[in-house]
Amino acid sequence: MITLDADDRLICLRAGEAADDHHGAVLPPISQASLYRKRTMKELLDGLSREHSANVYSRGTNPTVKVLEDTLAKLERAEACKCFGSGMGAVSAVLFGLLKAGDHVLFLNDIYGPTLELAARLEDFGVSWSHTYARDIDAITAEMRDTTRLVYMESPGSMLFRLLPIAQVCAMAKARGAITVIDNTVATPLLQKPLAFGADLAIHSCSKYIGGHSDVIGGAVMGSRELIERLFYKSYMLLGSVMAPLDAFLLLRGLMTLPDRMLRHHEDALAIANFLQDHPRIGGIHHPAFCNEDAALFKKQMLGASGLFSVALKDTSYDETLAIADRLTLFGRAVSWGGAESLVICGHKADPAGRATRLPATLLRFSIGLEGADNLIADLEQALS
């Protein structure tokens, strides 16, 4: 059984308690307004001069979204947070906001496909990029260029959940003047706090565990006040990927159960992965707790492993892999993850640019929901028989 930070539980539970009393409402009202009137022209001009911290227009700030931002900043132990209309909105704001023509960005580990697609789009604006699966710090350092301004990583990485030495990467990048960014979506701020290891920015797709009910698309970036303010003016306000107040409200509601959900996801995924490890049809388990090479990093960097893992089937064709996924009755065949319902998806043969991926052809990724490990094991048993 894993133990989460005691403060985090309270931060999540009291997320809705806004600074304003709102008549004692346990959740803040949904401030469904696009603009905010000021009493005087001077007050309006003052607001416009610091739009990141004044309610002027909801493409900038919104009181309900602000409550969520303050809560997420606390959870990630960051000075500030900005929320976005999607995880990709957050990724776009970071890349477009911090890079300029002539800069290079280095991507590490298995990266969410559309993030790399976006990197390829950046070439049109004079930004170069490269990507390595290296995890040894010397090999990673060798990939740095004089023009590398940003190092972007996922740990755990998408689909295969391998880990990176976050503190080493951040120290190396910092010494070379590059900003470090980590997509921390898989771990959530409860299971891993990358800013404590030296990362400058943490990105989250709130569409996954933070929302937790498969009903919201959202994103967030956490970091220093200075960097978040820079993003606000250089990309957030201009790209316009804005979180709706209703979505912020739903995410605040989701946060209240996040600690308990993450404990359940972690425990049940572990039990199911343990069952599958001994199954004759399984050739390999891709789960942070099952990877001997990453054992020390897992212990150092993470409190738990979430409900995500994948398996490679043994002596099985691609078509049979799909048929096994189709035989599952409790797992939905769907993209995304992080909700109450268990999901399964096969590995993609090619990345969005059409290049062959390094994923095994017989890979199935599971998002373990809240149906109970025994029920899910029984379902997997029948599908694999």
Ligand X SMILES: Cc1ncc(COP(=O)(O)O)c(C=O)c1O
321 is a site residue for ligand X (CB under 6 A): no
User: Is-catalytic flag, 59?
Assistant: yes
Applying CB under 6 A, among 103, 183, 200, 247 the residue interacting with ligand X is 183
Applying CB under 6 A, among 55, 86, 180, 321 the residue interacting with ligand X is 86
Nearer to ligand X, 364 or 383 (CB): 364
58 is a site residue for ligand X (CB under 6 A): no
| CA 10 distance to own-chain centroid | 21
Span of 17-25, 61-69, 84-92, 263-271 interacting with ligand X by CB under 6 A: 84-92
The strand pair at 282-286 and 219-223 is best described as unpaired
Both tokens of 276, joined, read 């599958």
CB of 111 to ligand X, least distance (A): 8
CB of 85 to ligand X, least distance (A): 8
d(CA 170, CA 161): 19
CB of 98 to ligand X, least distance (A): 17
Q: Are 267 and 373 in contact (CB under 8 A)?
A: yes
366 is a site residue for ligand X (CB under 6 A): no
CB of 187 to ligand X, least distance (A): 10
CB of 293 to ligand X, least distance (A): 21
User: Is-catalytic flag, 300?
Assistant: no
CB of 354 to ligand X, least distance (A): 20
Applying CB under 6 A, among 96, 107, 112, 309 the residue interacting with ligand X is 112
Long-range contacts of residues 144-148, Cβ cutoff 8 Å, at least 24 apart: 144/106, 144/172, 144/173, 144/176, 144/178, 145/104, 145/106, 147/102, 147/103, 147/104, 148/103, 148/104, 148/105, 148/106, 148/173, 148/176, 148/178
User: Is-catalytic flag, 42?
Assistant: no
What is the contact mask toward ligand X in residues 187 to 216, using x (rule: CB under 6 A)?
------------------x-x---------
Both tokens of 237, joined, read 């306000």
Q: Are 37 and 49 in contact (CB under 8 A)?
A: no
61 is a site residue for ligand X (CB under 6 A): no
Nearest to 359 by CA among 377, 379, 369, 345: 345
**Which residues, including other chains, have CB under 8 Å from residue 326's CB and lie 6 or more apart?**
333
Applying CB under 6 A, among 224, 257, 336, 357 the residue interacting with ligand X is 336
Q: In what order do the strands lie in the sheet with 332-333?
A: 282-286, 308-313, 363-367, 343-346, 332-333
339 is a site residue for ligand X (CB under 6 A): no
User: Is-catalytic flag, 112?
Assistant: yes
Provide the binding-site residues for ligand X, judged by CB under 6 A: 86-88, 112, 154, 158, 183, 185, 205, 207, 217, 219, 336
Which residues are marked as active site? 59, 112, 183, 208
